[in-house]
Structure 1
């Protein structure tokens, strides 16, 4: 009985964390606060709650936050469409990479066995961030390269270069920002937990 109560409490806490981190992700997207201008690009931080959830609470919590983030991407593509929003209507582009962020972050964090937790978190956060960038852009490249190029009035060759450029120009700043924020938040939460 006591064990069942402990499990229920643990699950309730996890659900609360999923709700809170998902809400943060959605607020970042709706308000535009999830985009940091680093000329000439805008780096997104909307995927950081997924990484934090995975490192702090494990892959299930991280995947649930990633799932909600992905579903929000679909909804946003319907309610505030851009010329290339059609690619995000496909869950393989909008949802799958966001769920994978949690898995790559968590398992990277667990696989690195150094005594320097900041280093472990940094690598996990960077890998999680790059999973988002490479996953979304990779799926666009594999599934929608032709329609994507046509919509933007580009040749296939120019579209390929454009996707690669976005991956580099956005991916690196996003990985750096993700690392800094994730390390700060996870370290602070762990300190509070150990008090």
Structure 2
């Protein structure tokens, strides 16, 4: 029993390390990226972790993703940081909801999607659902809680994000989760 629990904690630690490395590498690349399209890839290890490790550990990984977003927005602010931290001008309690709740749910929903259909298609669908959970809940919450604060130009920016970043993130999530999850599940047996 002890070895199983230790192995489970070690695996969770590896997934969290992968999340942080993926995020740091993408931020480094985006520093030199010539395009305003900067897809987030940190959700992919959360989705894969959700399916492989279960919804509780997936939710914890999602919490870590939300914590990273909160801390980064607090320590390295940009004009939209108030959406993810109450410690920037314009931010409030709802900033914490936006930073944490969608990310925690990224770690829950894909598990149940994959559990319902344990195939490559089910893994790809889990990738889609995890990514859609993030996109819909974050952007929806922004409009619900900060709709009066943001102006039309920000709404246009969100529209551009939906048509570019979200498309790239969704395709990456579907392809990588569909490729990685079945192999991990096979090796887990």
TM range (shorter): 0.7 to 0.9
Alignment-derived partner of residue 54 in structure 2:
58
Structure 1 residue matching 2:108: 3-state secondary structure: helix
Alignment-derived partner of residue 107 in structure 2:
102
Q: 2:141 aligns with which of 132, 136, 139?
A: 139
Query: What value does the CA root-mean-square deviation take over the aligned residues?
Result: 2.3
**Residues 17-166 of structure 1: pairs in structure 2 closer than 5 A:** 17-32=11-26, 41-89=37-85, 90-112=95-117, 117-147=119-149, 149=150, 156-166=151-161
Can you list the C-alpha shifts for 1:51-82, whole angstroms capped at 9, x where unaligned? 01111111011101111111011111122211
Higher fraction of strand: 1
CA distance in 2 between counterparts of 1:66 and 1:173 reads: 20
What are the ranges of 5 or more consecutive residues in structure 2 without an aligned counterpart?
A: 86-94
Alignment-derived partner of residue 184 in structure 1:
179
| Paired residues of 2:106 and 2:134 also in contact (CA < 8 A) | yes
Q: Which has the higher contact order (CA 8 A, sep 6+)?
A: 2
**Residues 6-25 of structure 1: pairs in structure 2 closer than 5 A:** 6=1, 8-25=2-19
CA distance in 2 between counterparts of 1:74 and 1:33 reads: 15
Q: Kindly report structure 1 stretches of 4+ aligned residues shifted beyond 4 Å.
A: 33-40
CA distance in 2 between counterparts of 1:21 and 1:158 reads: 37
CA distance in 1 between counterparts of 2:75 and 2:105 reads: 25
What are the ranges of 5 or more consecutive residues in structure 1 without an aligned counterpart?
A: 1-5, 150-155
Alignment-derived partner of residue 153 in structure 1:
none
